[in-house]
Amino acid sequence: MHHFPPSILRPRTLLSLLASAMLAACGGGDSGPLLKADRQPFPLVEATVAQFHAAMGQGDVSCRDVVQGYLDRIAAYDAEPSAAHPASPALRSVIAVNAAALARADELDRMFFGHGTMAGPMHCVPVLAKDNFDTADMKTTAGSLALANNQPPDDAYVIRKVREAGAIIIGKANMDEFAFGFTGSSSVGGKTRNAYIPDNSAGGSSSGTGTSIAANLAMIGLGTDTGGSVRVPSAVEGLYGLRPTLRLVSQDGIVPLAHGQDTAGPLCRAVQDCALLLDAMVGYDAARTSGQRTAKAWDAPLVANAQAYAQLTSRPASYAASLQAGGLKGARIGVVRGMFPTRTAANGAFLDTLQAALDAMRAAGAIVEDVDIPDRTTVLTSYASLSAYEFRDDLTAYLGSWSSSGDGHPRTTEAVADALATLEPTRVANFRIYVANGTNKEANPVYQNNLKPRDEFVLPRVLAALDNRDFASGAQRGAAYDVLMYPVLQGFNGSSVNSGSNNRLSAFTGFPAMAFPAGFTKASAASTSVEPVSMEMIGRPFAEPTLLRLGYGWQSIAAPRVTSPLAPELPRKS
């Protein structure tokens, strides 16, 4: 446990302010700061971890205050309208709340205010996790009625690590059922609504995480990304969403879609909170289902131990501590113009917002140049996601990893399909397509083409663009780029998300990518609401520090977030 002053790693200026506040509040000895009896409600809208911890250090807020505040917001804004909340926008972003959350909050308050200690750098940070992360204290449904009673015996590796850092899993977020697609709909949770324009798409498959964090129903969110499922909801909700390098984060205890592309990632309103969550998520996992392989290749062996993992990932001591407000200065950014949509009357404001962001980065000291990826169209459109082929065997392996005697969960993918035939007859046909594609996949030439042949074609071409080299000759065209940038989507959001194929670049390479808000603007002159316009940056393997540094630099100069109009601060209870 951490004693005062707590070791909460932050950008230097934030760290000094936080440490000063906590030291002032704590008089030393074995007792912590005094919790003020006359404290005012802590504002949760757009709250960051640093603001929350600083307020705790001054005795202005307790862990229970904050957890209860988010539970109140979920009741007010996520559920269907009721007598208590007749104006609820019914966001449908949360599948379930954690019945043990307040009891854990009380434990953390006794630790902090009674003894001056913190459970870790995420002390009492309320986190909403997509409902495909195993949680020992909550069911894990993946949005499906067939898994409504699915009770894993322990936490996913990521969940365990986040709890060990002091966070509270406040609930489980809605998602595209079994992470199929970008519609944001599940049989358990219904269709998630967008936090800015309710009838617009919430993206997917981490739709509930995206909407809930944009609407300030938790402080930070956890999602998963197989082919865009962190970045797309982040784009349509104006969030920072990081898909880490494949192999950095353990896949153990996450309902799988495709082991060759799956990874967990944070969705946050502030870059520094994404970095803090990533610090908690990463680490060596000895489980055979970790996915932490020595190379991207599907048949590469798992890393042998923590030392081998550290050498592979070049993990810094702290992602959060490496952030700098001037992070854009001197950064080299390659803009892939071929991944932008063609200008039309309908998308002019969308493209203008992207260009304004690039111009602002250049003004902040970044070198911004146009670049292309060799054979870009083939890279993005001539290969397929592994999800259609790996899901069947991966889900069966997951379901068979613990006994069903306690919860009666199905043990195979075929058993799930049989259950869906009765429980969800409108969804079973699509599910059976995944079952059929995954049967005897080793003999399927399409699947085989998307393993080694895909890697051999895609990886060197994307690296050539990052290195600023001519692909054919190998000649250097100029200094290498830190990242490549392009839009997440192909235009404004609507009732269905216009995702295009850009999201495949990170999924196919396994390289890390982060979606970030370029700004908010109106889709048309007649519109009364603004909506997010987002970009994505991709870096080399294990370049998460670079992505976070540039993202924090952008946040520092642009402050691009806009508060959700559907979920304002709740009035103070009398």
The length of the chain, given as a count of residues: 574
Instruction: Give the Cα separation of 237 and 488 in Å (integer).
Output: 12
**Quick one: how far is CA 417 from the chain centroid?**
28
The beta-carbon contacts of 72-78 under 8 Å, at least 24 apart in sequence, are 72/570, 73/44, 73/215, 73/216, 73/217, 73/567, 73/570, 74/171, 74/212, 74/217, 76/567, 76/570, 77/215, 77/217, 77/566, 77/567, 78/212, 78/215, 78/217
**Run of H or E residues at 263:** strand 263-268
Reply yes or no: is the peptide bond before residue 186 cis, omega within 30 of 0.
no
Of 383, 382, 373, whose CA–CA distance to 337 is shortest? 373
Instruction: Give the Cα separation of 148 and 139 in Å (integer).
Output: 7
**Run of H or E residues at 274:** helix 271-281
Mapped onto helix, strand or coil, the DSSP state of residue 233 is helix
DSSP string, 446-481: HHHHTTHHHHHHHHHHHHHHHHTB-TTT--B-SSPP
Instruction: Give the Cα separation of 488 and 531 in Å (integer).
Output: 14
* The two structure tokens encoding residue 323: 């952030």
Instruction: Give the Cα separation of 425 and 145 in Å (integer).
Output: 11
The residues annotated as belonging to the active site are 130, 205, 229
Instruction: Give the Cα separation of 341 and 453 in Å (integer).
Output: 28
Instruction: Give the Cα separation of 185 and 205 in Å (integer).
Output: 8
Question: Position of tokens 């080694």?
Answer: 452
**What spatial distance separates the first Cα and last Cα of the chain, rounded to whole Å?**
37
Reply yes or no: is the peptide bond before residue 5 cis, omega within 30 of 0.
yes
Instruction: Give the Cα separation of 205 and 223 in Å (integer).
Output: 8
Round the CA-based radius of gyration of the chain to a whole number and report it: 23
CA 502 vs CA 414, 484, 486, 535: distances in Å: 33, 12, 8, 10
For the four alpha carbons of 522, 523, 529 and 535, in that order, the dihedral sign comes to negative
Of 330, 219, 325, 378, whose CA–CA distance to 558 is shortest? 325
